[in-house]
Structure 1
Amino acid sequence: MAQVLNARTAATGHPVINANTIAALNLGLPSEPKSANARLAAPKTLAGLHGHHPKHNGLLAALPAADYERLLPHLEFVEMPFGTTICSAGEQMQYVYFLTGSIVSLLYETADGASSETAVIGYEGVVGADVFMGGGASLHRAFVKSAGYGFRIKASILTQEFARGGALQQLLLRFTQALFTQMAHTVACNRHHTIVQQLCRWLLLSIDRLQSDQISMTQDLIANMLGVRRESVTEAARKLQDEGLIHYSRGHITVVDRVGLENHICECYAGIKKVYEGLLKTNN
């Protein structure tokens, strides 16, 4: 199994911009320290957040203004380095993460150390459904497979906001249903479809969330995600490259012909995409 930096986010020292700064950004005002002894941060602009904003997350962007403004003071901007384990299976998450420019993989791991990816989450969603669904400890390991950024909120606060009902609760429930649908399709795909089809599904789900045609990922890690042998991934990637659909070199994959890739896959990708597009629509 691939070794990763097991950096628990609650104690990592991820660069964090606090709630006062986030609120000040939204209002266009300079941020202020909470106390006379607090070190005043340099003036923050959206560029200071690497171009990211809470509304770059699909769920936060879909919230009505009043709900969004209520959450805003509690959001913290965080960097999410590749390889970070946000939460291990069996642990309680202290924060919930609204992603903007990263991808988190949910991995199910067996007692003997084998693992496979059950779902991926990007800017369209949130990591931490176990928190607001009342399930307690996480069933998966949440692993950052593509470095980027996001906004976190304390689990206790989001749980309170979820209990209020309304638009936030409905969005989170819709997203969770979409996530469960992705998991079901992934299980069926891994059981019944070829390695080439599985790799195509994995590539398309990844680039959709990156909004880019390029992925940085080794074949060893892809094999771990799919729960297959590395040699199988190598053979499948070579086939796709020979057909001119992708270009692979030194851990970097570029999708050259997306349409060709879509024509190559099983029905699982289309099923997942349709559900996400439908369930995450709002009428606000």
Structure 2
Amino acid sequence: MAEAIMPQHNHLLAALSGEVQQRLFPHLEPVEMPLGKVLYESGDTLRHVYFPTDSIVSLLYVMESGASAEISVVGNEGLVGVALFMGGESTPSRAIVQSGGHAYRLLGQRLKDEFNRHGELLVLMLRYTQALITQMAQTAVCNRHHSIDQQLCRWLLLSLDRLPGNNLTMTQELIANMLGVRREGVTEAAGKLQRQGVIEYSRGHITVIDRHKLEQLSCECYEVVKRETDRLLPYLPQRKTAGLPSTA
């Protein structure tokens, strides 16, 4: 039987004290997060924040031409909608579900009320926002200086860290849109990983079978983001390679 989805499956919510949980949890609304669902578009006024449990949301910048590139991913380590408590109320990015699953939705005003108590939630949200900014900055550097092969490895590792297992449901076309590259480049890079025994890819399903090798093939950008996230958010479970054998 599948495990029931609980608010504590989101690590931010799980890190809150019982007192804060009692104030927020009654107002959490469980929502389905189907693949490709757009949570908000560029410039939309944000009314809710989302706490993913077993889904991943990509934040994309979309150009006038329609071209897009991912600037960060959010999964069970965080929340979507930091602009609400930072005072901006809107953002120039698009939020789209990259890996389907579930999340808990909370009315933005509820979060702001708790944030404005200047207690533990404020500290937690600010530390999470700093980790998110680090990921955005490193993504920009990676997209400019590293190969598609390395970018794909980084992207796969960041996604795995935000999911309970080692399987992703993702088309090559969607990956190309996330990375802001041509689909042919993703096809070639994924083919190399499959031939090296790092992943198995079939009909939009990716299974990572050698995470250790995947980390070796990635650029330093993944480790920079991981190290800073672990430093700022020590409540996160440590990334594990158990069950993902290495052939190195």
SS of equivalent residue, structure 1 residue 247: strand
CA distance in 2, matches of 1:241, 1:148: 25
Whichever residue aligns with residue 156 of structure 1, its letter is Q
- If you compute each CA radius of gyration, which structure gives the higher value, 1 or 2? 1
Asked whether 1:216 is paired with 2:169, we answer yes
- Partner SS state of residue 90, structure 2: coil
Structure 1 residues not aligned, in runs of 5+: 1-46
The C-alpha deviation readout for 1:83-142, integer Å capped at 9, x for no partner, is 110010100111111111110000100111000000000011000000000112122100
Q: What displacement does 1:50 show?
A: 5.9
Identity over aligned pairs, percent: 56
Q: What is aligned with 1:94?
A: 47
Task: State how many pairs are aligned.
Answer: 235
CA contact (8 A) 1:87 1:138 kept: no
Query: Could you tell me which of 206, 210, 219 is aligned with 1:266?
Result: 219
1:79 corresponding residue in structure 2: 32
- Find the counterpart in structure 2 of residue 154 from structure 1: 107
What corresponds to 1:193 in structure 2?
A: 146
Match of 1:52 in 2: 5
After superposition, what is the alpha-carbon deviation per residue over 1:175-194, rounded to whole angstroms, capped at 9, x for unaligned? Answer: 11000000001000010001
1:30 aligned partner: none
Amino acid aligned to 1:160:
D
Per the alignment, residue 68 of structure 2 pairs with 115
| Matching residue of 1:177 | 130
What's the offset of the Cα at 1:246?
Answer: 1.0
1:14-53 matches, within 5 Å, as: 51-53=4-6
Deviations 1:234-279 (CA, angstroms, capped at 9, x unpaired): 1111111111111111111111111011111110001111111111
The one-letter amino acid of 2:142's match is C
DSSP-derived class of the 2:5 partner:
coil
Matches of 1:80 and 1:265, distance apart in 2: 29
CA contact (8 A) 1:132 1:162 kept: yes
SS of corresponding position for 1:186: helix
Distance 2:86 2:112 in 1: 9
The one-letter code matched in structure 2 to 1:162 is F
The answer as to whether partners of 1:59 and 1:124 remain within 8 angstroms in 2 is yes
- Letter matched to residue 62 of structure 1: A
Distance, in Å, in 1 between the alignment partners of 2:204 and 2:131 is: 30
AA partner of residue 83 (structure 1)? G
Partner of 1:247: 200
The TM-score normalised by the length of structure 1 is: 0.80
Residue by residue over 1:4-51, the C-alpha shift from the partner in whole angstroms, topping out at 9 and shown as x without a partner, is: xxxxxxxxxxxxxxxxxxxxxxxxxxxxxxxxxxxxxxxxxxx8x961
Does 2:71 align with 1:133?
Answer: no
1:210 CA drift (Å) = 1.2
The DSSP-based 3-state class of the residue aligned with 2:71 is strand
1:165 aligns with 2:118: yes
**Per-residue deviation at 1:156?**
1.2
1:109/1:257 Cα in 2 relative to 1: closer, same or farther (>3 Å)?
A: same
Moved beyond 3 Å, runs of 4+: none
Structure 2 length-normalised TM: 0.92
Task: Pick the aligned partner of 2:97 from 144, 150, 154.
Answer: 144
Contact 1:95/1:154 (<8 A) preserved: yes
Q: Which digits, 9 at most, give the CA deviation of each residue in 1:125-170, with x for residues without a partner?
A: 0000000001121221000111111111101111111111111011
